[in-house]
Amino acid sequence: MRIPVELQGFGQQKIEYEPPGLFTGGHLLVNGKAAPAGDTPGTLKLKRADGQSSRAMFRPRLLGLDLPDLVVDEQTVTLTEPMSIISAVWSAAPLVLVMVGGLLGGLVGGVAMWVNLYIFRTQLNKIVKYALTAGVCLAAALTYAVLYILLLPILRGL
């Protein structure tokens, strides 16, 4: 899922944002290729249609749980509608497994949280998003329980 980015002064260049994956961060793509790094850490260098260079950087939203805003030459571009606090808390609900299951619960809960955040970034109806993420939370709890039962004999042997 790539998000098109509308920027003034960049001509016919196709600028898109590729959201983060499970093991990768988000990328700004210009004509299908990753935007080159800028002169300072955390910045990107973009070429305008007139040949001038522009400096771009990402500004995190909602403690990094939501997709960031893009700042190009001090002008903020909102990539997507901001996620509500309720949606972010709902997405992070599987992290409760950390308190119950320690490292194993944290791993299962972290993956479930990532899936929930991905679902909330889609264009689905809100009710469908909440129903799907509730299913993900239930699946995470069941996955944790099954893994715990399977790993219990191994852990007792240590």
Torsion sign across C-alpha atoms 54, 2, 127, 114: negative
Note the pTM of the prediction, 2 decimals.
Answer: 0.74
pLDDT at 57 over 80: yes
**Are 56 and 104 part of one and the same domain?**
no
Residue ending a domain, among 78, 93, 121, is 78
Residue ending a domain, among 37, 56, 78, is 78
Number of domains in the chain: 2
158 falls in which pLDDT band (50, 70, 90)? low
Q: What is the pLDDT of residue 80?
A: 84
**Are 134 and 68 part of one and the same domain?**
no
Q: What is the pLDDT of residue 23?
A: 80
**Are 98 and 139 part of one and the same domain?**
yes
Residue ending a domain, among 78, 102, 117, is 78
**Are 90 and 74 part of one and the same domain?**
no
**Are 92 and 67 part of one and the same domain?**
no
Encode pLDDT of 77-102 as tens digits: 998 888 888 999 999 999 999 998 89
**Are 73 and 106 part of one and the same domain?**
no
156 falls in which pLDDT band (50, 70, 90)? confident
Average pLDDT, the chain: 90
Domain that holds residue 103: 85-156
